[in-house]
Amino acid sequence: METVSALRVKSLYKVYGNRADKAMELLRDGAHQDEKLAGLPVTAAVVDANFEVKRGEIFVVMGLSGSGKSTLIRMLNGLLAPTHGTVEVDGVDITKLKPAALRKLRREKISMVFQHFALQPHRSVLDNAGYALEVAGLPRDERREKALQALRMVGLDGWADKLPQELSGGMRQRVGLARALAAGTDIMLMDEAFSALDPLIRREVQDQLLELQAELGKTIVFITHDLNEAMRLGDRIAVMRAGRIVQIGTAEEILTDPSNDYVAQFVADVDRTRILTASAVMERPLGVVDVNSGPRVAARVLRETQTSAVYITGRDKRFVGTVTADEAAQAVRDGKQNLQEIVSTEYVRTVADDTPVADIFAACAESPAPVAVVDAAGRLAGVIPRVTLLSALGSLSTDISENTATPEPADVTGAAPAANVTAAPEVPVQVNAQAPVRLTGGPA
């Protein structure tokens, strides 16, 4: 059975002007027919928007001023009627609803947080937070209780009796957020909600939104022109240009695989170390041995892969540790049969697959062999050699991996299969791990 998305937009257009119908015909003829509108007194604000927003997702729409972001979000709750297309909320096409039904849907399903707070200056913070409940006709005591709960969520429970002018800009924006939370809707639309705030306050409010989202699991459509804000908040991001959505994807997808030159230029100055994670730069490990294999198997894999250590996995491919060439050779000489006796967790550092690249440098500098990457279940997902980490940041040419051949991983019983790791070009640092690239004073 197909799961209904929280929001679904199909072939959505908004054209302003007296010849909107004629403009629509020209626009629908092809994606590159905008020049044909030159002679018409129209403005195409949104052109053929198509996307779905999953339940519990933060879906960010970003673009420069005039790209159509605010027009788009106002069609999502029926404040603007589209020229063409549909907007479905929980499977209901709101473009076909009568005014009374549309107002009811807004009260029950969709709340909005505006850029400039939109607080009523003569009302207290508490009354502003509970205004949507007052409009809905809830009894005073009930709306007061819900408004106080929402204010506590945003850290303003001690400011309920104050007036908006007594609050800072960041606090007033939190009142707007509390008002949306008090309404109890599953979907929140946020139109440039933090853009009027100073940078430090803005980051604090972003942090609070992420904390609230982790607790409440709202469906959020967030409009912004700030790329770093989009990358920080969005589960997925839609990039708009001249009314069109030119790419939709995660922050990593947009950074690593921009759909066109415009998107590539747009993200050129992003701090990739804060966006890309270990899973985006890791490689397939050359030598993986099951913990139930003996030291002789480990020694053979070490010879075949010409590495200084093999990665040991246990049940369900969980990462156990490493065995170095010296340890394997000594165990063979001593006649040991059990790998478990010589497995170490000290030789190689380990990071989670969702660790930002910026937080991997220390582990990489401290680890003589490539850093091990594990998933949420503790399974070995891949490894990160030092040279690969640098290449991912553009410090080294990516041609390294194309011009250097490396041995294939040994076919050892219990080795991590290709399905459990990321298929990426292998680089020579794993072949000659005795002389790794130095980063910042780590052991050579």
The band of 276, judged by pLDDT with boundaries at 50, 70 and 90, is confident
Q: Return the pLDDT at 34.
A: 59
Pick the range with the lowest mean pLDDT from 138-142, 211-215, 420-424: 420-424
pLDDT at 305 over 80: yes
| CB distance 64 to 262 below 8 Å | no
Window from 29-38, 254-263, 426-435 with minimum mean pLDDT? 426-435
Q: Which residue has the tokens 């309404």?
A: 183
Is it the case that residue 424 has pLDDT exceeding 70?
no
Residue 126 pLDDT level (bands cut at 50, 70, 90): very high
* 248 phi, psi to nearest 5 deg: -130, 130
pLDDT at 394: 60
pLDDT band per the 50, 70, 90 thresholds, residue 102 = very high
Burial group, residue 344, by CB count within 10 angstroms (0-12, 13-18, 19+): middle
* % pLDDT > 70, the chain: 85
Checking if the pLDDT of 430 tops 80, the result is no
| Residue 436 pLDDT | 33
How far is Cα 28 from Cα 85, in angstroms, rounded to an integer?
A: 12
Reported confidence tier of residue 440, pLDDT bands at 50, 70, 90: very low
With 80 as the cut, is the pLDDT of residue 90 above it? yes
Mean pLDDT across the chain: 83
Residue 399's CB is within 10 A of a number of other CB atoms, namely: 9
Q: Give the 3-state DSSP-derived string for the chain, with helices as H, strands as E and coil as C.
A: CCCCCCEEEEEEEEEEECCHHHHHHHHHHCCCCHHHHHHCCEEEEEEEEEEEECCCCEEEEECCCCCCHHHHHHHHCCCCCCCEEEEEECCEEHHHCCHHHHHHHHHHHEEEECCCCCCCCCCCHHHHHCHHHHHCCCCHHHHHHHHHHHHHHCCCHHHCCCCHHHCCHHHHHHHHHHHHHHCCCCEEEEECCCCCCCHHHHHHHHHHHHHHHHHHCCEEEEEECCHHHHHHHCCEEEEEECCEEEEEECHHHHHHCCCCHHHHHHCCCCCHHHHCEHHHHCECCCCEEECCCCHHHHHHHHHHHCCCEEEEECHHHEEEEEEEHHHHHHHHHCCCCCHHHCCECCCCCEEECCCEHHHCHHHHHHCCCCEEEECCCCEEEEEECHHHHHHHCCCCCCCHHHHCCCCCCCCCCCCCCHHHCCCCCCCHHHCCCCCCCCCCCCCC
Q: What is the mean pLDDT of residues 85-104?
A: 93
Q: Which domains does the chain have, with CATH numbers?
A: 7-270 (3.40.50.300), 278-430 (3.10.580.10)
pLDDT of residue 384: 94
User: pLDDT-derived band of residue 169, with 50, 70 and 90 as boundaries?
Assistant: confident
pLDDT at 431 over 70: no
Would you place residue 316 in the very low, low, confident or very high pLDDT band (cuts 50, 70, 90)?
Answer: confident
Among the listed ranges 131-140, 262-271, 328-337, 409-418, which one has the minimum average pLDDT value?
A: 409-418
The pLDDT of residue 57 is above 50: yes
Q: Which residue has the higher pLDDT, 32 or 356?
A: 356
pLDDT higher for 242 or 443? Answer: 242
**pLDDT value for 2:** 52
Helices 325-333 and 295-305: crossing angle in degrees, nearest 10, is 140
Q: Are 13 and 27 in contact (CB under 8 A)?
A: yes
| Interval 171-176 mean pLDDT | 89
Single-letter amino acid, residue 65:
S
Query: Position 180: which residue type?
Result: A
| pLDDT on residue 401 | 38
- The pLDDT score that the predictor gives to residue 404 is 36
Q: How confident is the model at residue 20 (pLDDT cuts 50, 70, 90)?
A: confident
Tell which wins on pLDDT, 311 or 174.
311
More confident residue, 149 or 24: 149
Output the pLDDT for position 87: 96
- According to the model, what pLDDT value does residue 393 have? 65
Q: Does residue 411 surpass a pLDDT of 90?
A: no
Read off the pLDDT of residues 385-405 as tens digits, 9 standing for 90 and up: 988 887 766 633 333 333 333
Q: What are the residues facing 62 on neighbouring strands?
A: 224, 239
Contact between 112 and 70 under an 8 Å Cβ cutoff? The reply is: no
Q: What is the pTM of this model?
A: 0.73
Long-range contacts of 151-155 (CB under 8 A, 24+ apart): 151/125, 151/126, 151/175, 151/178, 153/178, 153/181, 153/212, 154/178, 154/181, 154/208, 154/212, 155/208
| 24-to-12, 17, 83 alpha-carbon distances in Å | 11, 11, 8
Q: Residue 35 — very low, low, confident or very high, per pLDDT cuts 50/70/90?
A: low
